[in-house]
Amino acid sequence: MPYETEDRLRSYLDTYQQGREQLCLAVLQTDRSYSDIRPRQPKGGRDGNRDIQAIYKGEQVAFGAVGFVNGANDSRSQKTKIQNKFKSDLTGAKEECKDLKIFVFFTNIIFTVGEKEKLEKHAKDAGITHCDIYDRERIRIALDSPDGLAARYQYLGLKLSDTEQQAFFNRWGDDIQTMISNRFSEMDTKLNRILFLEESKTPLIYFSIGFELKRKYAAEEFGNYRVFCSLMMIEPKLKIAGLKFGSSDASLDSSNSACLKKGRGIKDSINTWQWIETTNEENLNLELERNGSGIGVAELGGLFITYETGSFIRLRPTISMIDLNDATFVIFCNKKFAEKIKTIRIYSNDYFLHEIDNLKIDESEFEPNLPISFIEEDLSDKWVRIRRADGLGATFHLDFIRFTPKRLYAPNVVYETTTEREK
């Protein structure tokens, strides 16, 4: 194979200057001393007196020139021609960049050690501190190494032997696999982003906050609870400025009152409320949208509170999930419930939006401003707010610009026939 590589370097790229420059650029990339390697004008045009530009050892600018001959046979006339081209290219490079210290020259002629030393001395006399000469033999060695096999196949059309394939994949196999995996991962990320941005334009069906507790609690030890969320949008949409919703074991004293009677614990009942905050030019108005009651549970390891618009019939226009971008929300509850929370997770329209597990209980005094009032006996277990332990405040933030929410499941496909469905 070394003989085949050398033979191809002699004449395979005759008259094909673009291919020669691309081959030399690939060869230089096998040398770890060079980085940021770029071609100048391989298709023709002004190239600033260099075919290749790079950075040497992370600091110095390097110029590279390519001097190939057609049908290289290492004759005296060919060597003289390339030696003169070396000097001409070096002179042009120094005129372009007077402070140039690194010069690289590629040729498909083989020079003797003495001939290389004369060229290197000429470069040193011109102010070059490091001169790299890649003659045909040095280019061949680079191309026949595991780092150069891909370039050899691409530009000289030489297939890899079984031994070379093994050497190539031993050297690059893990990197290739990682690159492929990363590309697929990048594609998935972009597709997921596009899907979310499209689906987020649909009307909001629900916004739900899930509380994972530190363990499972029997209803008797869990006791009374109350937990609410107040969400404020960054700007009103459809005159909607915010949402309030929550749950408690306490229930209304009568259907026409906002006063609650004492709850008998989560084993007895789970009651829910949700309000919508609308705005006009002067005021904010809080309107009760839904109030529900449900049976209790004997034990629980988690609890959800949810704002929902319903998906069967909508009696009024509603916001879209994307309208919640940049919204802030506060979670407040009784202290005994707060002490049981391990992790908070946020969901909306079958998307997982956010997880909060670095929590702190804020016991400072505040007014929850709920349209319902709890009895004094319940309020002996004081209101507290849930906040981040990092001290970034008691409000949480939804950010759909920096983060793409995760879809909880893929939509099912509708098949036309039973046979398609079974496949």
| Beta bridge pairs of residue 64 | 52, 104
Tokens of 173: 């196999």
pLDDT confidence of residue 45: 47
pLDDT confidence of residue 34: 94
pLDDT confidence of residue 190: 87
pLDDT confidence of residue 187: 84
- Distance from C-alpha of 155 to C-alpha of 29, rounded to nearest angstrom: 14
Burial class (CB in 10 A: 0-12, 13-18, 19+), 16: middle
pTM given for the model: 0.60
pLDDT confidence of residue 170: 81
Residue 151: in which H helix or E strand, if any?
A: helix 149-156
Sign of CA dihedral 120, 121, 125, 130: positive
- Distance from C-alpha of 273 to C-alpha of 368, rounded to nearest angstrom: 14
Tokens of 362: 């804020």
Identify which of 129, 124, 393, 333 has the alpha carbon closest to the alpha carbon of residue 213.
333
> Considering the domain 2-159 in this protein, what is its CATH number?
3.40.1350.10
pLDDT confidence of residue 200: 93
- Distance from C-alpha of 290 to C-alpha of 101, rounded to nearest angstrom: 77
Give Cα 380 distance to the centre of its chain: 47
Q: What is the dihedral of CA 396, 215, 409, 321, to 10 degrees?
A: -20
In this structure, how many other beta carbons lie within 10 angstroms of the beta carbon of residue 370?
Answer: 20
Sketch the domain layout of the chain as residue ranges: 2-159, 201-418
In this structure, how many other beta carbons lie within 10 angstroms of the beta carbon of residue 206?
Answer: 17
Residue 343: in which H helix or E strand, if any?
A: strand 341-348
Residues 6+ apart with CB under 8 A from 258: 252, 371, 372, 373
Backbone angles phi, psi at 103, to 5 degrees: -135, 130
Identify which of 108, 153, 112 has the alpha carbon closest to the alpha carbon of residue 134.
108
Tokens of 51: 């075919």
Per-position pLDDT tens, the chain of length 423 = 678 999 999 999 998 999 999 999 999 999 999 999 998 764 544 455 679 999 999 989 999 999 999 999 999 999 999 999 999 999 999 999 999 999 999 999 999 999 999 999 999 999 999 999 999 999 999 999 988 888 999 999 988 888 888 887 787 777 777 777 777 778 888 888 999 999 999 999 999 999 999 999 999 988 889 999 999 999 999 889 999 999 999 887 665 557 788 778 888 889 999 999 998 777 788 888 888 888 889 999 999 999 998 656 666 788 999 999 999 999 999 999 999 999 999 999 999 999 988 899 999 988 888 988 888 888 899 999 999 887 666 689 999 999 999 999 888 778 777 776 666
pLDDT confidence of residue 131: 95
pLDDT confidence of residue 46: 47
In this structure, how many other beta carbons lie within 10 angstroms of the beta carbon of residue 173?
Answer: 11
Sheet holding 406-407, edge to edge: 299-308, 206-218, 341-348, 351-356, 406-407
